[in-house]
């Protein structure tokens, strides 16, 4: 349905839903996101037979089973992601981080966490990076790596677990030899391809809200939490960075998105900012 045909979203309704969404997801939506909220939640109004966003809010408050709440969270969370996004983190992972971590932890399975993984492009890009480095370096065994990928969206995780993606999206920025090595193009004429089992087997997917406890996940050598903290309040960023530090092993490595920084937060005292000589940055836990 065109946005112009959806009910008007008043500032009062926006504020009510804004506070509800922030409580559930820690995503802080500014008033410039009124159009986004109206367009993404509008189809839910239609499906539920509601005539206003205020009615949606009132129904959410009475949603004891959480089904409607889950639909709203699914609709509002951003699931935009790309293969090998920003490039530098994956080169740094291959050339700098993996050799260092293997030297520090020669007898351990290396655990990597892709937090807020959306539809799976990031954890699969990590797995492919490891497989590619193993082709160049026989000392690297992909079986010695374990990748956990989490997201709040069950719908996004369902797509990730299937590992099937539109061909056009795959060909943007991905080298043809990578496509040939790690994807199987559909033979039924569909314009899509599925990731090969050797990549899929390296990743475990799990639903997780970043405001929940990480204790049950165990400790990690490397954490990717990229392009999601830009949506969070300053207070929650502080809390999240400290929790992520607690989930890292000594000298563990943490990647943020290109437009994100830990500088200016109290958690920055827990990490050392490392600048790669070829471009890009990452954080190392001060242990």
Strand partners, 31: none
- Concatenated DSSP letters for 113-165? EESS-TTTHHHHHHHHHHHHHHHH-TT--GGGEEEEEEES-HHHHHHHHHTEE
The pLDDT, as a whole number, for residue 78 is: 63
- Give the tens place of pLDDT for each residue, 68-123: 888 888 888 766 678 888 889 999 999 999 999 999 999 999 999 999 999 999 99
- Give the tens place of pLDDT for each residue, 21-56: 888 888 888 888 888 889 889 889 888 888 899 999
The ranges assigned to domains in the chain are 3-76, 88-285
- Concatenated DSSP letters for 27-41? B---GGGHHHHHHHH
The pLDDT, as a whole number, for residue 80 is: 63
- CATH code for the part of the protein at 88-285: 3.40.50.150
Q: How many helices (H) and strands (E) does the chain have?
A: 12, 10
The pLDDT, as a whole number, for residue 248 is: 97
Q: Is the pLDDT of residue 196 over 70?
A: yes
Q: Per mean pLDDT, which range of 6-10, 54-58, 269-273 is the poorest?
A: 6-10
The pLDDT, as a whole number, for residue 69 is: 86
| pLDDT band with cut points at 50, 70 and 90 for residue 1 | low
- The structure tokens listed for 281 are 């940055």
Assign 243 to helix, strand or coil.
helix
DSSP state of 64: S
Instruction: Over range 123-129, report the average pLDDT.
Output: 97
Q: How far is CA 68 from CA 48, 85, 138, 216, in A?
A: 9, 32, 50, 27
The pLDDT, as a whole number, for residue 259 is: 87
The pLDDT, as a whole number, for residue 3 is: 64
The pLDDT, as a whole number, for residue 189 is: 59
Q: What is the rounded distance in angstroms from the CA atom of residue 84 to the CA atom of residue 78? A: 18
Q: What b/e string do you get for 42-53 counting C-beta neighbours within 10 Å, with b at 16 or more?
A: bebbeeeebeeb
- Give the tens place of pLDDT for each residue, 207-219: 999 999 999 999 9
The pLDDT, as a whole number, for residue 213 is: 93
Q: What is the rounded distance in angstroms from the CA atom of residue 69 to the CA atom of residue 286? A: 39
- The structure tokens listed for 220 are 């990690």
Instruction: Over range 123-140, report the average pLDDT.
Output: 94
The pLDDT, as a whole number, for residue 159 is: 92
CB 3 within 8 A of CB 39: yes
Q: Is the pLDDT of residue 284 over 60?
A: yes
106 — phi, psi (to 5°)?
-65, -20
The pLDDT, as a whole number, for residue 63 is: 79
Q: What is the rounded distance in angstroms from the CA atom of residue 75 to the CA atom of residue 36? A: 10
Q: Is 277 left (phi over 0), alpha (psi -120 to 50) or beta?
A: alpha
pLDDT winner (highest mean) among 2-11, 80-89, 122-131 = 122-131
Q: How far is CA 233 from CA 19, 63, 228, 236, in A?
A: 12, 26, 11, 5
- CATH code for the part of the protein at 3-76: 1.10.155.10
| pLDDT band with cut points at 50, 70 and 90 for residue 142 | very high
Within 13 A of 62's CA, how many CA atoms are on the CB side?
A: 6
Q: Is the pLDDT of residue 176 over 80?
A: yes
The pLDDT, as a whole number, for residue 287 is: 81
Q: How far is CA 239 from CA 183, 210, 213, 230, 245, in A?
A: 38, 10, 11, 14, 10
Q: What is the rounded distance in angstroms from the CA atom of residue 48 to the CA atom of residue 69? A: 13
Where is pLDDT greater, at 143 or 174? 143
CB 112 within 8 A of CB 223: yes
Q: Is the pLDDT of residue 6 over 90?
A: no
Where is pLDDT greater, at 113 or 191? 113
Instruction: Over range 169-183, report the average pLDDT.
Output: 87
């Amino acid at each position: 349905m065109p946005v112009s045909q959806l009910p008007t979203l008043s500032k009062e309704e926006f504020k009510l839903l804004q506070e509800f969404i922030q409580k559930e997801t820690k995503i802080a939506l500014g008033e410039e996101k009124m159009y986004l909220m109206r367009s993404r939640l509008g189809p839910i109004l239609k499906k539920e037979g509601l005539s206003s966003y205020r009615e949606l809010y009132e129904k959410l408050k009475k949603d004891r089973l959480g089904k409607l709440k889950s639909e709203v969270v699914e609709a509002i969370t951003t699931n935009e992601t790309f293969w090998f996004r920003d490039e530098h983190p994956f080169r740094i992972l291959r050339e700098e981080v993996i050799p260092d971590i293997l030297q520090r932890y020669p007898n351990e399975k290396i655990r990597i966490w892709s937090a807020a993984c959306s539809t799976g492009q990031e954890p699969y890009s990590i797995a492919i990076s490891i497989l590619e480095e193993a082709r160049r370096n026989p000392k690297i065994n992909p079986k010695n790596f374990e990748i956990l990928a989490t997201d709040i969206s069950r719908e996004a995780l369902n797509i990730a677990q299937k590992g099937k993606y539109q061909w056009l999206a795959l060909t943007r920025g991905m080298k043809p030899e990578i496509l040939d090595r790690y994807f199987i193009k559909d033979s039924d004429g569909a314009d899509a391809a599925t990731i090969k089992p050797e990549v899929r087997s390296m990743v475990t997917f799990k639903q997780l809200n970043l405001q929940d406890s990480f204790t049950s996940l165990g400790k990690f050598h490397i954490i990717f939490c990229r392009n999601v903290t830009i949506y969070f309040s300053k207070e929650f960023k502080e809390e999240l960075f400290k929790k992520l530090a607690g989930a890292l092993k000594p000298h563990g490595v943490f990647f943020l998105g290109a437009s994100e920084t830990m500088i200016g937060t109290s958690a920055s005292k827990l990490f050392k900012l490392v600048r790669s000589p070829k471009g890009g940055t990452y954080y190392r836990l001060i242990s």
